[in-house]
Structure formats: C-alpha cells, structure tokens
Amino acid sequence: MKNVIEFLNIDTTSLKFKDINEYVKSINVSEIDEEMLDSIIEKLSLDSRKNVNILATKLLKDINKLKAEKERVALMYNFDKSFGIYNLVAGVDEVGRGPLAGPIVSCAVILKEDSMDDHILEINDSKKLSESKREKLAEIIKERAIAYSIAFCDNKEIDMKGIGVCNNQIFIDACTSLNPKPDLILSDGYLIKNIDIENKSVIKGDTKSAAIACASIVAKVYRDNLMKEYHKEFAVYDFAQNVGYGTKKHVEAILEYGPCEIHRMSFLKNILSI
C-alpha cells in the first residue's frame, strides 16, 4: 500500500517507461482496493506516452479478469447453499478410478464461508488446472477449510471388492471422518450408498460446486504425489508421469517386465490376456 501511495504522488513524466512498467508488473490487483486501482489507471491513462497508456489498459484487463473470477467462484459457493438451510455442507470427490495401478483416493471438504473474502479463487475441476496450480490450491484449501478428510482403497482391495464398491467405500470413509460432521454431502456423479448423512449427487460437480472442486483438487494432489513416491521404487512404469494410467509407455513396460505389486490385476486382463 505504501508503494501505491508513493506512486500516486509521483509525477510519472519524470519516470522512464521501464520503471513504470516494473511497478505495474508488481501490482497484485487482488491486494489493492478498487479506488486505489482506479487512481492508478487514471494516472497511467493521462500520461502523454502511448506505451504508458497501454499499461493502463492491461491493468484494467487484469481487474476485469479478477472480477469475473470472483463472480464465477461466487456462483460455485452459492450452488452449495442452494439445496436448503444446512449449517455445514461437505463436498466429496474421487480420483484414480480408471488407472491400471495405485489406489483410488477420495477427499471430503467443508469450506468456510463467513464472507466473500473466504472464497478460494481459481478452484475448478482438478483436471483443468496445471500441476503447479493444483499444488498451490491444495495447500490453501487445507489451511482454510473448516475440515477435510482423505480416504483410499489400494490396488489389492480394488481387485478383491471391485472398483465400484471401493469408490463408494472411500466416499463413506472420507465423509464420516470429517470433524465436525456435515449436515449435507454433495457427491460428484452419484449418490453414496449406505451413509447416514443426507446426500445429494451433482453431475459434473467439480465444475459446479465449490466444495466438490476443492475435494477434487486435494484428492488429485494427494494421489499424484503418492504415485511419484511409487515411481522411485518402480521407475520402469513411469508412474511419475502417468500416475498409473494406461499410457503407451506404461503398457509396454507391463508387457516387458510384468506387473508390479501396486498394479490392479483385475484391470490388466486384456493386456496380459488372462
């Protein structure tokens, strides 16, 4: 804020474009109030140099982009509140239903929302986010959520019980481990069977519900990091890159070296002709 005030009090005509550009690049529009930002834009717009005027246009685009993102995320939070009067709403999602190796992982999340300041921006379906963005958001979610819980079934359980049973079980385990207990669970894709908490399913929930999107991100980051650890022991399968999914390199490694101890044998029948 001090730098903003100093900038507003400086005659920009005495500054080189390079210095003004460096200042504008350092501005985080989410950390400065709207009135201050308007003053900066006005100051840049009144400068006689066109390249400085362009900086004003760029800053305005950043502000409008932030507003649009706040509106998008607000809709996701409002979606979670649209099911009735519930004190605590949890979202639950899974990752790893389709891979040939590794566990299936779920996460359940209860988000804090006393005001719009509690909204976590950039949340979305975890598959639509870059790895670095997911990692950053996962830490923010875990720090700011009222509660979160992770559950999983390993490959041996998947082979023994079936992926559908395991998927439902980890939803139950993640949700019932939350403290405090939620009044409503929003689950991605389908209703949870045999759970004693009110539950509503949401098709494509990780793009509609804030809580489900956050659960998707935390579950994805947890499982991806687990598969990177497995890669250290089973490097020939390239788990650090494919996280267990059936890529060409992964399938070729299975055919050459055979399966390892974290492969789902029930998923390899066509590959191994068994």
Exposed, middle or buried, 239 (CB in 10 Å: 0-12/13-18/19+)? buried
According to the model, what pLDDT value does residue 198 have? 96
Please determine, for residue 54, whether its predicted confidence score (pLDDT) is greater than 60.
yes
**pLDDT by residue (tens digit) across 80-110?**
999 988 999 999 999 999 999 999 999 999 9
Mean pLDDT (the chain) is 93
Residue 94 annotated in ligand binding: yes
- Other C-beta atoms closer than 10 Å to the C-beta of 34 total 10
- What is the predicted pLDDT for the residue at 12? 78
Residue 2 has pLDDT above 60, yes or no: no
State how far the alpha carbon of 244 is from the alpha carbons of 63, 132, 165, 263, in Å.
40, 19, 20, 8
> Token pair of 117, please?
């300041």
Over residues 179-237, the pLDDT tens digits come to 999 999 999 999 999 999 999 999 999 999 999 999 999 999 999 999 999 999 999 99
pLDDT of residue 1: 46
Mean pLDDT, rounded, for 112-137? 91
Q: 113 among the known binding-site residues?
A: no
Domain borders along the chain are 2-80, 89-224
What's the confidence (pLDDT) of residue 252?
A: 96
Pick the CATH number of 89-224 from 3.30.420.10, 3.20.20.60, 3.40.50.300, 1.10.3720.10: 3.30.420.10
Global pTM reads: 0.90
Ligand-binding site membership of 71 (annotated): no
> So what's the pLDDT on residue 274?
62
